[in-house]
Chains A and B, each alone.
Chain A
Amino acid sequence: MLDGMQKTFSMLVWVAVAVFGAVATAVIAIHREEPINALWLIVAATCCYALGYRFYSKFIAAKILAVDAMRATPAERLENGRDFLVTNKWVVFGHHFAAIAGPGPLVGPVLAAQFGYLPGTLWVLAGAVFAGCVQDFVILLFSVRRDGKSLTEMAKEETGSVGGTVAYGAVIAILIILLAVIALVVVNALKDSPWGTFTIAMTIPIALLMGVYLRRIRPGKVLEVSVLGFVLVLLAIWGGQWVSQDATIAPLFTWRASTLAISIIVYAFAASVVPVWLLLAPRDYLSTFVKLGTIGLLGIGMVALHPTLHMPALTRFVDGTGPVFAGKIFPFAFITIACGAISGFHSLISSGTTPKLIARETETPMVGYGAMMAESAVAVMAIIAACVLQPGVYFAINSPAGIVGQTAAAATQTISSWGFPVTAADMQSLAHAVGEQTLFNRTGGAPAFAVGMAHIFSQSLGGSTVMALWYHFAVMFEALFILTILDAGTRVARFMIQDALGHIYKPLGRTSWYPSILFTSALVVAAWGFFLWQGVKDPLGGINSLWPLFGIANQLLAIVALCVATTIIIKMHRTRYAAVTLVPLVWLVAVTFTASWHKIFDPNPRVGFLAQASALAAGSATNATARLIFNNRLDAAVTSMLVVMVTLVLVESARQWIGVLRGVRDAQVKETPFVMTRLAEERS
């Protein structure tokens, strides 16, 4: 009787969640005239995530993966106290979330807000529930069942050697493009900003101090030193305002984009070759500390303050003429927002550290599916932060000078003529309020997010007098963890290249051999530094060409991950449910291949790399023109190469599927044999 009542109550609760979610989503989708409150987005997101987690992840776990609580995980069987370790599920969740959540879910949605709040919101919700969370979850479980093997190893074993090699190459290519584009985001956020540059520059001595403190004074007390580092960073933000106002010191920290780019390249090279404990690890701790705190603060702030969105649901730029980046909603909204909806990069983490910590298979939905939902929520917050701005202000910040004009008057006139009124005086006053000389032409998404965040928080916490502090806190928060990814990513790419070169000449594969460290670090830094320099010198702001390139690369990696997942599902004789990974796979193939086609061959020079190269060739020839033509042709070649590589994986996977379904290929999955968990015995 009691059981029946509980069931009825539970059913009523879930019906209510579904109704609330449907109403909130309908309001978001249908509402057109008046500004909408952010609470609608928050309610829609919460309900979609709750339903997705409760029903879809459970369906996948039960019907497809047959998640088994009795099966011992590698953390239990191979426990060594180092990589393999039985860990509490909440701890693994936090660890996994800290690894997957980077600047992507903050930057992508801000850039895609040029289409209005609707396309980004719908893609983030549907993409996460039906694609991103699924990818992270199934790859995590498949890795757990294979002793924590990486995606590239699983691709090699399950789809064939081409899959493994392509996945390896794709990861290196994506890392290079990723590092370039996020470095460009930092450059655009810090250029001509003495306050921001000073704050970020101070994080280097703070990190060194933390490193020495950890090594010599209080070994291993990371949380303690992170709190100390955080206090010092706050002091640096506070001190930044004096620096920016001092006529002597301010010019020392007022750097042009090219100077910042060179400094970042030199810094990343140095960070890659010095011992990890000295600079990289303390910065990583500091940025993680700030990141987790700020995301928590943002979440609470968004719910408590639920600001009004001023951006319309859809803007005129759905036609592909947007100033932030050129291209229509389909496919460009779906490659601009990767992290937050589906990101191929996550599959590397789901098959990296995390599977080695999972205590039971039944915890994989919470960690894989759940952590991705949390990241998707961060993307919703970024959409809100961008859309609380007046659209005119949003476009003034995010539009490159090459599109809207070189002067404030020209830019405001162009933007106002689009139907988004803004004046030079408005922009000057906003720049003054956030402690900047100008906010025009700050492409890349980070400054717009920072202004949005400062706008939301300053309305109730400290008023407009502290808006500049909030703005610089947000810029510091983004720049700090982008720089952390830069140095960590450079090191990871260096390891991977050393691995590959070790097959040609053995000493190059030794991570402790200094000539190899210097050579491979220089190789990696030169590769992403080249693309960064290209972005800095691009008259269209760089983001227009580099962010889509990164989005395409990242989603192509998701295709590789979904190919591996679909192959395993078919080999497990769960073909009737293969649509769970096959549908997102088909969608991503449609998105990325269409986007790649446009980026290479579109006749519009703002969209197509080759068309832009031709347009430049037809104009007056200078040294800069020759370089821009080369860069565009190179971008087209890189995109083509990625598409060809992923096509090979698709073909190889399809051959596997057809072979298995026809019964002419071995359907044996390469899982570790079943071992009964001891944890269950201990429990009983």
Chain B
Amino acid sequence: MNFLAEAMRLVAATLREIFDESAYARFLKRSHMTSSPAAYAAFWRERESSRAPRIKCC
């Protein structure tokens, strides 16, 4: 049961990372903001200012 719960937790964490939910949570923590349309807009502004290309393969 513990193994299953751990596996589910890992899958959820992976999905949250892939889908940028964790990145948004980290942004909120780092910038001392609570989730709101303005905070989400700021999160995307920061992401768009990053020059590192997030390439996806063919």
Question: Does B associate with A?
Answer: yes
Does B29 contact A102, Cβ atoms closer than 8 Å? no
Separation of A308 and B17 alpha carbons in the complex (Å):
38
- Closest A residue to B20 by beta carbon equals A222
Chain B residue with the shortest CB-CB distance to A499: B51
Contacts of A220 in B (CB 8 A): 20-21, 24-25, 35, 40, 43
Chain B, residue nearest A347 (CB): B57
Bound Cα distance A271, B27 (Å): 25
| B48 engages A353 (CB within 8 Å) | no
Q: Which of B15, B26, B29, B57 interacts with A349 by CB under 8 Å?
A: B57
Instruction: Decide if A222 touches B21 in the complex (CB within 8 Å).
Output: yes
Docked CA distance A349–B58 (Å): 11
- Which 5 residue pairs are nearest across A and B when measured between Cβ atoms? A219-B40, A94-B14, A104-B58, A222-B19, A220-B24
- One of A98, A101, A104, A492 near B53 (C-beta < 8 A): A492
Interface pair A352/B54, CB less than 8 Å apart: yes
- Complex: chain B residue closest to A217, CB-CB: B37
From known contacts A104-B58, A277-B44, A353-B52, infer whether A81 and B30 are also in contact, taking CB-CB under 8 Å. Answer: yes
List B contacts of A215 (CB < 8 A).
Answer: 37, 40-41, 44
- The residue of chain B having its C-beta at the shortest distance from the C-beta of A284 within the complex is B56
**1/0 contact trace for B11-50 toward A, CB 8 Å?**
0011111111101111101100001110111011011111
Query: What are 26 A-B residue pairs whose CB atoms fall within 8 Å in the complex?
Result: A81-B29, A81-B30, A82-B26, A82-B27, A82-B50, A88-B14, A90-B14, A91-B10, A95-B14, A99-B56, A182-B58, A215-B41, A219-B35, A220-B21, A220-B35, A222-B19, A223-B19, A288-B19, A339-B57, A348-B55, A488-B54, A489-B55, A489-B56, A495-B53, A499-B51, A511-B51
Contact assessment for A83 and B57 in the assembled complex, using a CB-CB cutoff below 8 Å: no
The size of the chain A interface, using a CB distance under 8 A, is: 59
Establish whether residues B55 and A352, one from each chain, have CB atoms under 8 Å apart when the complex forms. Answer: yes
* In the bound complex, CA of A285 to CA of B26 (Å): 19
Contacts of B24 in A (CB 8 A): 219-220, 222
| Docked pose: A100 CA to B55 CA in angstroms | 9
Given contacts A215-B40, A215-B41, A353-B52, contact A87 B17 (CB under 8 A): yes
Given A276-B44, A339-B57, 10 extra CB contacts under 8 A: A81-B27, A88-B10, A95-B18, A219-B35, A220-B20, A285-B19, A348-B57, A353-B52, A488-B56, A511-B51
Partner of B50, one of A83, A214, A226, A554: A83
Chain B residue contacts of A277, Cβ below 8 A? 40-41, 44
Q: Cα distance A289–B21 when bound, in Å?
A: 14
Binding site for A on B (CB under 8 A): 10, 13-21, 23-27, 29-30, 35-37, 39-41, 43-44, 46-58
Which residues of chain A have a CB within 8 Å of any CB of chain B?
81-83, 85, 87-88, 90-91, 93-95, 98-104, 178, 182, 214-216, 219-223, 226, 275-277, 281, 284-285, 288-289, 292, 338-339, 343, 345-346, 348-349, 352-353, 484-485, 488-489, 492, 495-496, 499, 511-512, 550, 554
Given contact pairs A219-B40, A276-B48, A277-B44, A353 touches B19 in the complex (Cβ within 8 A)? no
A216 in complex: contacting residue of B18, B20, B37, B46, CB < 8 Å: B37
| A619 CA / B52 CA spacing, docked (Å) | 50
B21 lies within 8 A of A219 (CB): no
B57 touches A345 (CB 8 A): yes
- Give the shortest distance, in Å, between B1 (CB) and chain A (any CB): 19
Query: A85 to B48, alpha carbons, bound, how many Å?
Result: 19
**B55 with A495: CB separation less than 8 A:** no
Closest residue of chain A to B38 (Cβ to Cβ) is: A219
- Chain B residues whose C-beta falls within 8 Å of the C-beta of A100 in the assembled complex: 57
Bound form: Cα–Cα A94–B27 in Å = 21
B18 adjacent to A83 (CB under 8 Å): no
Q: A214 with B40: in contact, given A223-B21, A343-B57 (CB under 8 Å)?
A: yes
Q: How far is the CA of A95 from the CA of B24 in the complex (A)?
A: 16
Nearest-neighbor residue (CB-CB) of A105 within chain B: B58
Alpha-carbon distance A190/B41, docked complex (angstroms): 35
Chain B residues in 8 Å Cβ range of A95: 14, 17-18
- Complex contact B37–A99 (CB within 8 A): no
A104:B57 contact, CB within 8 angstroms: yes
Q: Which of B23, B30, B49, B55 has most A Cβ within 10 Å?
A: B55
Which of chain B's residues have a CB closer than 8 A to the CB of A94? 14-15, 17-18
State A223–B30 Cα separation when bound (angstroms).
22
Residues of B within 8 A of A104 (CB): 57-58
Chain B residue numbers with a CB within 8 Å of A214 are 40
Q: Is B37 touching A275 in the complex (CB atoms < 8 A)?
A: no
Residues in B whose Cβ lies below 8 Å from that of A93: 14
Q: Would you call A178 and B44 a contact (CB within 8 A)?
A: no
Q: In the complex, which residue of chain B has the Cβ closest to the Cβ of A219?
A: B40
What residues on A are CB-neighbors of B48 within 8 Å?
A: 275-276, 511
Task: Give the shortest distance, in Å, between A98 (CB) and chain B (any CB).
Answer: 5
